[in-house]
């Protein structure tokens, strides 16, 4: 099952997003345009919220129908575990970021890359959990829904690849070397996604908890990072409109493909 072409392709999609972002170093000298960043993060936030509901939370509740009125409990527990885990991770990342601000040159960028890499681990696992749920035959999870979630994460990863490769080039690294370092920051996503899918048989009994754990992780990223980034400063309506577009597109795809 792990060699399923749909699964392998879906697991690599977030990594492709990081790679394309890192490749910006070949074409641009300055930073990404703020309006582009707003549009990308707003759209990604909408996709991830809709995917969390239709591809993660609702299938988890459906899988626990035998619990009757208490079928929401595993989802409630998993959702909070995901949110709290990302919160603890974010306690570590600011420490790295503060050290990066005090560091010089390459050390600063290396710490930024470490922060981005750590943040990519739960995102890769989230995609892996959805594909594991699809392979396990959980009713509301489709390969199209899993791919849509992976695409939303890939869009979010695009600016992250750029914020690693472009500063490295500004510090004197070649464009090729800067691109490779930016690209490698996203390599953990397909790796941890693949490990999650490989354990699908073992984790089947706790799948509702894992699905909603992934949903909690996604919700935390959206509320803590993507929405503030998409709506800060002037022209905040750009992020709002793109959020709505991403949400409705993901909702439509998930229902239609289901």
pLDDT of residue 210: 87
Question: How would you write the pLDDT of the chain (258 residues) with one tens digit per residue?
Answer: 556 888 999 999 999 999 999 999 898 766 667 787 788 888 888 888 888 888 788 888 888 888 988 999 999 999 999 999 888 877 776 555 545 445 455 555 566 666 677 778 888 888 888 888 888 776 667 777 788 788 888 887 888 788 788 877 877 888 998 899 889 888 999 999 999 888 877 777 888 898 899 889 888 888 888 888 888 877 778 888 999 998 998 888 777 765
pLDDT of residue 73: 94
pLDDT of residue 136: 78
Could you tell me the residue ranges of all domains in the chain?
5-257
pTM of structure: 0.75
With a CB cutoff of 8 Å and minimum separation 6, the contacts of 131 are 7, 10, 11, 143, 146, 193, 196, 197
């Amino acid at each position: 099952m792990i060699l399923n072409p749909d699964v392998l392709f879906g697991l690599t999609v977030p990594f492709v997003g990081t790679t394309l972002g890192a490749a910006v170093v070949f074409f641009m000298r300055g930073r990404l345009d703020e309006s582009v960043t707003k549009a990308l993060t707003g759209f990604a936030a909408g996709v991830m919220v809709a995917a969390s509901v239709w591809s993660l939370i609702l299938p988890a509740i459906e899988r626990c129908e035998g619990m009757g009125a208490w079928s929401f409990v595993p989802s409630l527990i998993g959702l909070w575990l995901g949110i709290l885990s990302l919160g603890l991770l974010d306690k570590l990342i600011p420490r790295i970021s503060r050290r990066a601000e005090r560091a010089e040159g390459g050390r600063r960028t290396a710490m930024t890359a470490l922060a981005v890499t750590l943040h990519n681990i739960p995102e890769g696992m989230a995609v892996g959990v959805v594909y594991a749920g699809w392979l396990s035959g959980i009713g509301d999870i489709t390969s199209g829904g899993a791919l849509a979630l992976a695409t939303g994460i890939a869009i979010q990863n695009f600016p992250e690849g750029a914020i690693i490769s472009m500063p490295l080039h500004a510090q004197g690294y070649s464009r090729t070397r800067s691109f490779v370092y930016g690209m490698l920051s996203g390599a953990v996503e397909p790796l941890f996604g693949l490990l999650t899918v490989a354990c699908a048989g073992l984790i089947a009994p706790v799948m509702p908890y894992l699905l909603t754990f992934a949903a909690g992780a996604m919700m935390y990223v959206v509320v803590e990072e993507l929405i503030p980034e998409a709506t800060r400063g002037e022209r905040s309506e750009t992020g709002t409109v793109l959020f709505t577009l991403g949400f409705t597109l993901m909702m439509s795809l998930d229902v239609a493909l289901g």
